[in-house]
Amino acid sequence: DTGVSQNPRHKITKRGQNVTFRCDPISEHNRLYWYRQTLGQGPEFLTYFQNEAQLEKSRLLSDRFSAERPKGSFSTLEIQRTEQGDSAMYLCASSLERGENTEAFFGQGTRLTVV
Partner 1 sequence: DAKTTQPNSMESNEEEPVHLPCNHSTISGTDYIHWYRQLPSQGPEYVIHGLTSNVNNRMASLAIAEDRKSSTLILHRATLRDAAVYYCILRGFGNEKLTFGTGTRLTIIP
Binding site for partner 1 (CB under 8 A): 4, 31, 33, 35, 40-45, 48, 55-56, 58, 91, 93, 100-101, 103-109
Closest to 110 (Cα-Cα) out of 24, 16, 11, 39: 11
Shortest Cβ 16–partner 1 spacing (Å): 28
Of 44 and 68, nearer to partner 1 (C-beta) is: 44
Nearest approach in angstroms of CB 17 to partner 1 is 25
Nearest to 105 by CA among 90, 115, 95, 91: 95
Residue 42 CB, nearest approach to partner 1 (Å): 3
Q: How far is Cα 101 from Cα 90, in angstroms, rounded to an integer? A: 23
CB of 8 to partner 1, least distance (A): 15
What residues form DSSP beta bridges with 91?
Answer: 35
Q: Between residues 91 and 112, which has the closer beta carbon with respect to partner 1?
A: 91
